[in-house]
Chains A and B, each alone.
Chain A
Amino acid sequence: MMLKKIISLLFLLIAYSLQLTACFAQPISSTELINNAKLYDAKVVVYSGEVIGDVMVRARYAWININDGNNAIGIWVSKAVAKDIQYSGSYKAKGDVLEVSGIFHRSCPEHGGDLDIHAQYIRKLNSGRLLTERLNLEKRNFSLILLGVLCLVLILRQLKPKSKK
């Protein structure tokens, strides 16, 4: 009897872990989450994308915003996890690409109705980097030509009244 109980318990545990693994294997896009928010509400979802903007620490937790190329979604993570983020996306940087597994909220009761994800597990897929800006020579040359035209127009404006005299 006891053995039967242990076997069934083990079976349930394996089935549950398999279910979680299946969930991890299929990241859901932001568009899918936003458009079908009711369907995914209060469920564990996997979402991945680039960290953008500020990492906003709030007491023991932090807000990060992750953009998957279509939309950015707010992720509520522990402060310790947030500290591991090296780069966040901006004009001068490509942010770390993270895979987040957590509970999705269509309107989070803890955060005033925000559509967000409370992270349970985070994995770094790609590390971000600083982006170096190379001067666009075409733009530079064009701007110099226009500067010449501007000077010419200004000179012509000054010259004409004198020639009238």
Chain B
Amino acid sequence: MILRPNLDDLRNIGYYLGKIIIGLGLTMSVPIIAGIAFGEFNPSLDFFIAAEITVIFGLILTKLCRREQDLSWAQGMIVVSLSWLVATVLGAIPLYLSGHWKSFLDACFDAMSGFATTGLTLAQDLDHMSYAHNLWRHLIMFIGGQGIVIVALSLFVKGASGAFKMYVGEARDEKILPNVIHTSRFIWLVSIVYLILGALALGITGILNGMKPLNSFYHGACIFMAAFDTGGFTPQSQNMLYYHSLSYEVITIIIMILGALNFKLHYHIWMGNRKEIWKDIETTALFITIMITLVITAIGLDRIGVYPTAVMLFRKGFYQLISGHTGTGFQTIYAAQFVNDWNHLALTGVICAMALGGAVCSTTGAIKMLRIGVIFKALAEDIKRIILPERAIIVQKFHHIKTIFMEDKQVRSALLITLCYLLLYGFGALVGTFFGYPFLNSLFESTSAAANVGLSCGITNISMPAALKITYIFQMWAGRLEFMSVFVLAGFVVAAIKGK
């Protein structure tokens, strides 16, 4: 028998949702300040309006639903999945008011793309966009990359035991420090330290490349946020091609890889335990999968001979591959070039890289390296079972921060999530094909959306059908939250309708 959720359930969910919404509203003060500082008054007004609506909504929700009860697991998951949807709608308000998006759906598409750190965009006339709006596009990537809930956890939730349930709901099942709020704050500390270093490095490089100092540091901060949070938005319409700079590309590759590593690994590196980089199953798996997908892509590109030198192959082939594998989505080629200049083999290499992703507890999307590592370890174990005598005791272990003995439930969980991702990639490809796009292009774009990458082969544009835009929004949301919160929300809705 399914139990219908009662009023207490709804009030509990509403209360925590309200807190997260207020947190989102307060973050809009950053583009307001930037807008005023740059003398952009209409953009500042867009953010005033959006912040006011957001905070009013959050305050009403927390007042109406005021509860002192802790969240249950299901409630925590529902808060997370709903907060991402509500944040998308509220975060889209200033974007839509700017006039750079043709419809509110397009603005919601970009807001979800930002929060989910995807990077697919439907923005128009990006080259004339205000500093404030561009900063917001990158800031929502920064917020989404750390996790919308983590922002609220760090700022508003003090010692609530429900915090861990929301933290897990946001696809972060690994605690770095014993307390989840301290973990959230550590993630922020890491990100802000890297933000300062990364923005400085990119800013100085920009100046050396001939950019104006103010613009250079502004671009540096934006590009860092998009690279470290494996997002992929850029302030200009040409994406990374705008900079025409090898040094800029090399720095962003380093930042993208840092963003694709587990925050727990960052913690151990910070504590001086550098050997973890080489021992961890995730970094090993990441290195191997990069090599394999690089070989596939390089063979494909070599066959067509479009990038004949090593430098060209590095800047065009390797860059798109790393960008795809880390889930960033920066491009040094135009979207149409994927289809026109690359062959199917090279495209397949990039699709595989996008589908695999980076580390768990990082800012990347997709299947992730820990699961790939566990699945291959399980496969090796099963092969050993067949080869070795029946009486032999086979123990499979792997190193992930500490040595872990592999259990069946880990393998089952890894396989289930992998299956969910594969189904999600296939679903988007099917919808794309239904609307008349070639299958490989549809699979490329679908994988990019569901794995929160942001590389585009040209399907994503304002003229694509609204149903396809909604499909990609759903894929970005479900892919970022790694399904469980989405399934719980779906179950909650079913229980509300059919429950007794």
Q: Are A and B a genuine interacting pair, yes or no?
A: yes
Contacts from A to B (Cβ < 8 Å): 34-38, 52-58, 62-63, 65, 67, 71-72, 74, 89-92, 106-107, 109, 111-116, 133, 135-136, 139-140, 142-143, 146-147, 149-150, 153-154, 156-157, 160
What are 13 A-B pairs at a CB distance below 8 A? A35-B336, A54-B211, A71-B334, A72-B237, A74-B241, A91-B40, A91-B129, A113-B306, A135-B45, A136-B42, A139-B42, A146-B53, A149-B56
Q: A34-B337, A147-B52 are in contact. Are A53 and B312 (CB under 8 A)?
A: no
Return the chain A residue nearest B313 by Cβ: A113
B442 at the interface (CB under 8 A from A): no
B83 at the interface (CB under 8 A from A): no
Cα-based distance from A135 to B45 in the complex (angstroms): 9
Cross-interface CB contact of A52 among B97, B236, B244, cutoff 8 Å: B236
B215 at the interface (CB under 8 A from A): yes
CB–CB B63/A157 < 8 A:
yes
Cα-based distance from A153 to B56 in the complex (angstroms): 7
Q: Is the interface of A mostly helix, strand, loop or mixed?
A: mixed
CB–CB B242/A65 < 8 A:
yes
Cα-based distance from A65 to B128 in the complex (angstroms): 13
Q: A65-B236, A91-B129, A139-B42 are in contact. Are A114 and B341 (CB under 8 A)?
A: no
- Residues of chain A within 8 A of B237, CB atoms compared: 52, 67, 71-72
Cross-interface CB contact of B316 among A74, A90, A107, A116, cutoff 8 Å: A107
- Residues of chain A within 8 A of B314, CB atoms compared: 112
Distance (whole angstroms) from the CB of A23 to the closest CB of chain B: 23
Distance (whole angstroms) from the CB of A135 to the closest CB of chain B: 6
Distance (whole angstroms) from the CB of B283 to the closest CB of chain A: 28
Return the chain A residue nearest B55 by Cβ: A150
Q: Nearest 9 CB-CB pairs, A to B? A: A56-B210, A113-B312, A146-B52, A112-B315, A52-B127, A91-B130, A57-B210, A139-B45, A113-B316
B88-140 contacts to A, CB under 8 A, are: 97, 127-131
Distance (whole angstroms) from the CB of A38 to the closest CB of chain B: 7
Cα-based distance from A89 to B210 in the complex (angstroms): 17
Cα-based distance from A35 to B242 in the complex (angstroms): 19
- Residues of chain B within 8 A of A112, CB atoms compared: 246, 311-312, 314-316
Cα-based distance from A147 to B336 in the complex (angstroms): 46
Contact bitstring B298-331, A, C-beta under 8 A = 1, else 0: 0000000011110111111000000000000000
- Residues of chain B within 8 A of A114, CB atoms compared: 241, 244, 315, 332
Cross-interface CB contact of B56 among A65, A111, A150, cutoff 8 Å: A150
Contact bitstring B19-63, A, C-beta under 8 A = 1, else 0: 000000000000000000001111101101100110110011001
Cross-interface CB contact of A143 among B45, B55, B315, B336, cutoff 8 Å: B45
CB–CB B52/A143 < 8 A:
yes
Cα-based distance from A90 to B398 in the complex (angstroms): 52
CB–CB A157/B59 < 8 A:
yes
- Residues of chain A within 8 A of B236, CB atoms compared: 52-53, 65, 72
CB–CB A63/B42 < 8 A:
no
Among B43, B46, B60, B236, max chain A CB count under 10 A is at B236
Cα-based distance from A58 to B18 in the complex (angstroms): 51
Cα-based distance from A150 to B315 in the complex (angstroms): 51
Distance (whole angstroms) from the CB of B19 to the closest CB of chain A: 14
Cα-based distance from A146 to B40 in the complex (angstroms): 20
- Residues of chain B within 8 A of A154, CB atoms compared: 59
- Residues of chain B within 8 A of A63, CB atoms compared: 210, 244
Cross-interface CB contact of B340 among A38, A52, A72, A157, cutoff 8 Å: A38
CB–CB A149/B241 < 8 A:
no
Q: A72-B238, A157-B59 are in contact. Are A111 and B42 (CB under 8 A)?
A: no
B55-79 contacts to A, CB under 8 A, are: 55-56, 59-60, 63
Distance (whole angstroms) from the CB of B15 to the closest CB of chain A: 14
- Residues of chain A within 8 A of B46, CB atoms compared: 139
- Residues of chain A within 8 A of B56, CB atoms compared: 146, 149-150, 153
Cα-based distance from A67 to B128 in the complex (angstroms): 11
Cα-based distance from A62 to B209 in the complex (angstroms): 10
Cross-interface CB contact of B131 among A53, A74, A91, A143, cutoff 8 Å: A91
B251 at the interface (CB under 8 A from A): no
Distance (whole angstroms) from the CB of A70 to the closest CB of chain B: 9
Q: A115-B334, A149-B56 are in contact. Are A109 and B128 (CB under 8 A)?
A: no
Cross-interface CB contact of B312 among A90, A109, A136, A157, cutoff 8 Å: A109
Cα-based distance from A106 to B316 in the complex (angstroms): 12
Cα-based distance from A146 to B53 in the complex (angstroms): 7
CB–CB B244/A133 < 8 A:
no
Distance (whole angstroms) from the CB of A105 to the closest CB of chain B: 11
B231-259 contacts to A, CB under 8 A, are: 236-238, 241-244, 246
Return the chain B residue nearest A145 by Cβ: B52
B333 at the interface (CB under 8 A from A): yes
CB–CB B306/A106 < 8 A:
yes
Cα-based distance from A100 to B52 in the complex (angstroms): 47
Q: A153-B56, A153-B59 are in contact. Are A142 and B210 (CB under 8 A)?
A: no
